[in-house]
Chain A
Amino acid sequence: MRGRGLVIGVTVVLVGLAAGAAYVTRDTSPPLENAPTMKVSEALGGASGAEGYTRALEPREFHFPEDHGPHPGFHTEWWYWTGNLTTADGHEFGYQFTLFRSALAPGEAERASAWGTRHIYMGHLALSDITGGRFHATERFSREAMDLAGARNGPFRVWLEDWSAEAIGDGVLPLRLTARSGNVSLSLELEAGKPPVLQGDRGLSQKGPQKGNASYYYSLTRMPTRGQVTVDGRAYEVTGRSWMDREWGTSALGQELVGWDWFALQLSDGGELMYYQLRRHDGTADAFSAGTLVPSEGAPVHLSRQDIRLEVADTWTSPHSGVAYPARWKLSVPSRGLTLDITPALADQELPVSVRYWEGAVRFSGTHAGQPVQGRGYVELTGYGDTPVRGR
């Protein structure tokens, strides 16, 4: 009978201890909350407001070479190079090299730490090995601090870590582009070619009906280029032509827009055509879409939405993202007798970066004022993926 007391006692003690052990090891943590994430690309998401920034309100006078350099008062600014290159034995390449500056807050940081900054840089490097049928693309970010990234004049230099565009001489042009990432590298010398072309109204490129929803925008449309491209340890001596776009402003795309299609075409007759079509949610072209035709001789001609007809003749669906992009166009400027059939030089030129887009080398042929014409160029397609673009 006493045995029973012992068993009961021991059981009670064990149960008590087990409860105590469970108590001290209990999980005191609350359920895991759905907290926010940190993605550096989101820092580029756009101005939280235009307040405190300089704005593109009306046409201004451009001064070169100074305007090649940075305009830190504006929210966003970029240096954009694209080009088609060929080796002596006909190996064809396309390249895109872009450096974006974006302000996180207006004004300059006053910090004890040299890392404190309000500007960050994003860089995209893409190489289309057209003959080889491969496409390479990289993205990188850094802050404008510690010399890790930045832009300056005299001598001109804009850089993001070891990616840079810098003047070879005292001015800006000719300039050298140097970029390397993984198995791909680029070292090109670009000459001015033609003088800068001011886009839009004397360089003020209006992107929407509101005043200030605009940027300053100019291009160097035909830059003789030579240098070296390296892919997988193999170096190619190349020559060709580049296109430089410079744009800065403090505005975001209007809510009604989802993205744009941008064309930069170098015609065999010595002219160039730039056209950007702003796309509305329903897929139609926005009234503020615009372009410029640069004849081989004479003044550039501003083109508005009504001057241009653009039809998509084919689409391509990315195997990486499942996103369908236009992949062939019929572009015409009836008033100028220009009709072009544009096809990508390589189907897969989708950049798998934080904001996915397609940008690639294209080939075209057609007629200009009755004469057959053909050429090469670059096309950028944004806002086709799930993420609407609020930037450029």
Chain B
Amino acid sequence: MKQRLLIRSSLRHLGSHPWLTALSLLGIALGVAVVVSIDLANASAMRAFERSTDTVAGRATHQLVGGPSGLPESVYRDLRLQPGAPVSAPVVEGHVRARSGDQRILTVLGVDPFAEAPFRSFVPRGGGRVDMGAFLTEPGAALMTGRTARALNVKAGDPLQVAMEGVVKPLRVVALLQSGDENRAQAMEGLVLTDISTAQEVLGQVGRLSRIDLKLPDGEAGEARLASLRPLLPEGVEVIRPHTRGNAVEQMTRAFRTNLTALSLLALVVGTFLIYNTMTFSVVQRREQLGRLRAVGITRRELFALVLGEAAVLGMVGTVAGLLLGVVLGRGLMELVTRTLNDLYLVVSVRSLSLESFTLVKGVLLGLGATLAAAMLPAWEAARSAPAVTLRRSMLEDVSRNRAPRLALLGLVILALGVGLLSLPTPELLPAYAGLFSVLLGASLLVPWLTAKLAGLAAGPLGRPFGLLGRMAARGVTSNLSRTAVALAALMVAVATTVGVGLMVTSFRGTVADWLESSLEADVYVSPPALVTRRGGATFAPGLAEQVRATPGVASSSTLRTVQVRVDGVPTDVRAVDFGATPVRPYRFKEGDPARVWKELEAPDAVLVSEPLAFHRRLGVGGTVELATDQGPRRFRVVGVYFDYGSDTGTVLMLRSTYLLHFQDARVSGVALYAEPGQDVDALVARVRERAGTGQALGIQSNRALRQLSLEVFDRTFTITHVLRLLAVGVAFIGVLSALMALQLERARELAVLRATGLTPRQLWGLVSLQTGLLGLLAGLFSLPLGVALAYVLVHVINQRSFGWTLQLLVSGDVLTQAMVLALAAAALAGLYPSWKMSRANPALALREE
């Protein structure tokens, strides 16, 4: 009986404010959805990568790997011809771009079918047969799953054109592979299986192997076997475990993924404020009812449970909606995450969302947890209700106002704590995020006190143009402090988040633009198309680079070779530069004297490292790094640290002469041309294009075009950040809307009194608008310093610790203006419905309602 009474009172309350209930549900749902979708997108990308790595690594226990251009194929022969050779298989692997269907990037896996069986079973036994003769003897013969073939728009027997570093190579689909189950089908998406001979020819790796897979027994027997193998291996060949590759990728993309997760959590924080706001509202509004319930014998415990129960119902519904929305959103974000990963780090093809139950459980816990946590304080307040018939609202507000200075003090303490956490000299991200959230919390606690002070100050100025209404609006803010402060804090945090993220991206972009300006000094840049935009690494067809460099009108030229080398065991981009006759050295140094560095770099064991690498590996001038060269591991001295915003994992730079000493690789990945004085750059571009011919599709860009392109790539990689920011703005907007709307609706009786005392609907509308507008203005004003502080933390602490970059904080007026507009617009919108409703309502009815 008692239970039913309580439940009915709850339902009636929730049902009587459908729009508010709906808005708070939307707030929870959006918060959960953002977190879940980012998590799903990240997890899907990582899972797809793992699956494809597992597929190509197969059941190998160890792998033999060489320098950047793989290892000589003779290593395999020598190993295989040893008496009692270990179980081994040669692998040639690389990426090409399809020129039909969806033009996707394909992984070419070249294997020796005779050595494959112990490692990869691409095809279960039974069924038809692949024409092994054609597979082995026909140049370009390829196998793929039916699904991949459909995506490429080819059938068994069809020719298939692919581009390897811009050079078209013909393949032929000799048969379609059986993929087995759905998991394997996904893992084999985009995989093209060829004989090792075809792979070598198509990928331009004749004479080389990407690696040799080994299968050694577990434990000591395997270790002994390994020990006996080592002396047989030539210098430069190393034994690694297959999972190190997955680990390296995991490591490389961790900062990127962590930051996305943190941004998504910000959305949830804003959502939590929203729930707090809703629950507080429902408690405050029902204070009389709650008092009556106490009077009829409902205990404190029951009231506490009542409010928490309502929150749980809201949380549950909102969370379920959030999970579903998160899945939908995740599908879209997955594409963005994949594109960014492909632009920045690696080739990964993510075709489907992997719904990890862990992610979903996390979403439920976060959604419900945040709701219940936010409802805790209002529930406690409800439980404190005295069994009196009425607890005067004014009394409540008195309490609230008296509490404001104490809260502000607590806020200051938490702020100080946050600053302390942020300034801890550690490279860890966790304290930085803890500090960041402390700053947000601390600032929120300052809001009631600041609001009371500022609203008091605003009463005067508002009174002048708007008279009594203006003063009433300002006082309304203070007199309803328990309500307005929460709404303001939510609004402030939400807007500040968008300001912080917005400023961070602008600062980042500005720094990169500056850097591009100073590092792109040549007139024309030529390079073959790379699969990972920002990493490069594709090479010119033999002789083509020389031909390009000798174009008439070129005064001097420099070349670049980008390769991946294991630096201290971690695959890292190494750049070998040949400046040719150019005196230009387009590098700026963080450490090292620019006047001496270039001289020092001529030593055969000297390298430069980029700022992120120096940061991640704790390196500086005088430190050393070990590179896995073709002659085995070699130590190199770091003679300088240069600024580079091209790679967040960092790069090592050496002179080409040094590179050639240690690596058997004379290829070139990029050429920079300096025009003769008076030479028209566009004409030079055209001439280079003509000389290069059509054999290899080269990217030939003027300085200006390349800068443009680089910034486009930059913007593309920040699309996901923008989307997250927009989502946070969305949550913020809804938060403000519901908070302010609730505030005004709650004042229904007060407004009805005003109507009854002769206020016209127009005046009423003016009063409500003024008040919400004032709140919007205050929130906007509060959010600006907090947003800038947030940007400062993001740029100088979070970004620095994640990527190791030094960025300049740029406070962009646009971002600040946007924030103010956002706050005011949401506030204006929030005032519309309540004033429309109040102006139409019969004052007498409104008065009677309670």
Contacts and interface: CB of A to CB of B under 8 A. Distances in A.
A30 B147 contact: yes
B366 interface: no
Given A30-B147, A162-B82, A35 B128 contact: yes
A141 B89 CA distance: 13
Contacts of A20: 324-325, 327-328
A162 B113 CA distance: 18
B139 A10 contact: no
B544 interface: no
Contacts of A36: 123, 127-130, 175-178
Nearest to A36: B128
Contacts of B352: 25, 28
Interface stretch (B8-16, B480-488, B620-628): B8-16
A39 interface: yes
A104 B133 contact: yes
A37 B123 CA distance: 5
Given A3-B12, A28-B352, A111-B139, A162 B85 contact: yes
A13 B135 CA distance: 54
Contacts of A109: 137
Given A34-B127, A112-B201, A40 B178 contact: no
A148 B80 contact: yes
Find the residue from A4, A118, A146 having the highest chain B CB count within 10 A. A146
B133 A24 contact: no
Contact of B15 (A3, A17, A32, A105): A3
Given A143-B114, A146-B73, A39 B125 contact: yes
B25 interface: yes
A48 B207 CA distance: 31
Contacts of A147: 77, 81
Contacts of A37: 123-130, 178
A42 B690 CA distance: 49
Contacts of B133: 43, 48, 104-105
A99 to B, nearest CB: 14
B22 interface: yes
A21 B80 contact: no
A161 B81 contact: yes
B16 A113 contact: no
B320 interface: yes
Interface in B714-769: none
B324 A17 contact: yes
Contact of A104 (B114, B125, B130, B137): B137
B506 interface: no
B69 to A, nearest CB: 15
A322 interface: no
A289 B197 CA distance: 42
Interface in A1-59: 2-6, 9-10, 13-14, 17-18, 20-21, 24-25, 27-30, 32-40, 42-43, 48
Given A25-B331, A37-B124, A162 B83 contact: yes
Contacts of A111: 139, 197, 201
Contacts of A5: 18
Contacts of B83: 162, 180
A142 interface: yes
B122 interface: yes
A304 interface: no
Contacts, number: 190
Given A112-B200, A113-B200, A6 B18 contact: yes
Nearest to A43: B132
Interface in B118-152: 122-130, 132-133, 135-137, 139, 143, 145-147, 150
A120 interface: yes
Contact of A13 (B14, B84, B207, B321): B321
B73 A10 contact: no
A161 B80 contact: yes
Given A3-B12, A35-B176, A117-B136, A30 B327 contact: no
B356 to A, nearest CB: 12
A74 B117 CA distance: 28
Interface residues of B, number: 74
Given A3-B15, A17-B325, A39-B132, A113 B196 contact: yes
B534 to A, nearest CB: 29
Contacts of A10: 22, 25, 317, 321
A39 B129 contact: yes
B325 A141 contact: no
Contacts of A161: 80-81, 85
A40 B328 CA distance: 45
A219 B206 CA distance: 41
Contacts of B185: 29, 32
Nearest to B150: A30
Contacts of A141: 114
B772 interface: no
Interface in B74-88: 74, 76-77, 80-85
Nearest to B200: A113
B179 A6 contact: no
Find the residue from B22, B113, B185, B197 having the highest chain A CB count within 10 A. B197
B195 interface: yes
Given A5-B18, A39-B125, A114-B207, A180 B84 contact: yes
Given A36-B123, A117-B136, A3 B128 contact: no
A261 B80 CA distance: 35
Nearest to B16: A2
Contacts of B328: 17, 20-21, 24
Contact of A38 (B122, B320, B321): B122
Find the residue from A21, A30, A117 having the highest chain B CB count within 10 A. A21
A112 B207 CA distance: 9
A387 B800 CA distance: 67
B180 interface: yes
Given A38-B130, A143-B136, A115 B113 contact: no
Contacts of A17: 321, 324-325, 328
A121 B285 CA distance: 88
B458 to A, nearest CB: 36
Contacts of B331: 24-25
Interface in B317-369: 317, 320-321, 323-325, 327-328, 330-331, 352-353, 355
B280 interface: no
Nearest to A9: B22
B139 A120 contact: no
Nearest to A7: B15
B220 interface: no
B605 interface: no
Interface string A93-134: 000000000001100010111111110100000000000000
Contacts of B206: 112-114
A212 to B, nearest CB: 20
Interface string B178-221: 11111001000000000111101100001100000000000000
Find the residue from B82, B200, B324 having the highest chain A CB count within 10 A. B324
Contacts of B197: 111, 113-117, 145
Contacts of A3: 11-12, 14-16, 18
A9 B177 contact: no
Nearest to B136: A104
B185 to A, nearest CB: 6
List of 10 A-B pairs having minimum Cβ-Cβ separation, nearest first: A3-B15, A36-B128, A43-B132, A17-B324, A24-B331, A35-B178, A115-B197, A113-B197, A104-B133, A21-B327
Interface of A: 2-6, 9-10, 13-14, 17-18, 20-21, 24-25, 27-30, 32-40, 42-43, 48, 104-105, 109, 111-118, 120, 140-143, 145-148, 161-162, 180
Given A32-B179, A33-B178, A109-B137, 13 more contacts: A2-B16, A6-B15, A6-B21, A30-B150, A33-B146, A43-B132, A112-B201, A113-B196, A113-B197, A140-B114, A162-B80, A162-B84, A162-B85
10 contacts: A2-B18, A20-B328, A25-B331, A32-B178, A40-B117, A105-B137, A111-B201, A115-B197, A117-B197, A142-B114
